[in-house]
Amino acid sequence: MTSLGIYLRGVLMGAADIVPGVSGGTMAFITGIYDRLLGSIRSVDIAFVRKVLALDIRGAWEHVNGGFLLALLLGIATSIVTLSRVISWVLEHHPVPLWAFFFGLILASSLVLVRHVPAWNVARLVCLFTGIAVAATIALAPMINLDIGLPGVFFAGFLAICAMILPGISGSFILVLLGMYGPTLLAVKEFDVSYLLVLIAGAVCGLLVFSRLLHWLLQRFHDGTMALLTGFLFGSLLVVWPWKRVLLWVDSSSGSLKPAQQAPVLPDAFLVHTGTEPQVGLCIAMMVVGFTLVWFVERRWGQEAGASP
């Protein structure tokens, strides 16, 4: 696999991670680099630290497969820096068609993950429906307000990165539930160094801890874990359903009101409750575009992704 190919996969992962409900881990999985990614993350261990302390930089670089991680991180950073402004603007001015696009992405991603559970049985179906139930409960619950300064930013980074490496759960989805999605997009847009450094510190800690747990689960309970993650992805469709009714408003740190709890409704009810045109035709078209994009990625790299992580 060339460095350009890894970079482009990073671009896909970064683009997915900006979207509330779409997982960069899903993109890593369906493009065939998931196992390699987990292996590189787990290589940041005691042996790596010893090499760094001994100033064996070349050995440390090779130990963690540094060339792979560098190309991937550059691709992820490219997407985050270039797309965060665009998505922030569209979320503000055209939220309904954008959520419809997200819905198509997630629906297609969940169907991709279903194919990677080789044989369904009662236990795996229980895992699937447990994932759906947990995600749906979280999606319909009131938003948690973590706007408590830098400790909240650290905790948000810790949880979000855990979700980002899972095929089936989105880090941005977690940020939405924690009430930190908007502040994080704003921090990226305005390059708030202190905010971003604390967020990255939390993410690094979460990454080192959770990658080992995830590897253990996939090694011992692969099919059940994948079924559970697929359920999470199906359940998260409630989060990105384009037509929602706000049940609870709260004051934001800027003094304006922001939704703290929402429930999905049909387009007609959306028009009644919000007075906003549901744009059904455009939304369906955007769903198809999102679905087709994931289908194209899976068709292009799905054969490589057939190997289990």
SS3 call for 244: strand
* Model confidence, pTM: 0.70
Bridge partner residues of 244 (DSSP)? 264
Q: What SS3 state is found at 101?
A: helix
Residue 21 token pair: 């409900």
Beta bridge partners of residue 257, listed in sequence order: 251
CB 157 within 8 A of CB 202: yes
Residue 187 contacts by C-beta under 8 Å, 6 or more apart in sequence?
Answer: 195, 196, 199
Q: 147 is in which domain, residue-wise?
A: 3-306
What is the pLDDT tens value at each position of the chain, 309 positions in all?
Answer: 678 888 988 888 887 777 665 677 777 877 778 778 888 888 888 888 888 888 888 998 988 888 999 999 999 889 888 877 787 788 778 889 988 988 888 888 788 878 878 788 999 999 999 988 887 887 776 666 666 678 888 988 898 888 777 765 667 767 777 777 778 877 877 788 888 899 999 988 888 888 888 878 878 888 888 888 888 878 878 877 889 887 766 555 455 555 656 778 899 888 888 888 889 999 999 999 989 987 887 777 654 444 433
Number of domains, the chain: 1
Query: What phi and psi values does residue 169 have, to the nearest 5 degrees?
Result: -130, 140
Half-sphere exposure of 260 (CA within 13 A, CB side): 12
Whole-angstrom Cα distance, residue 146 to residue 158?
13
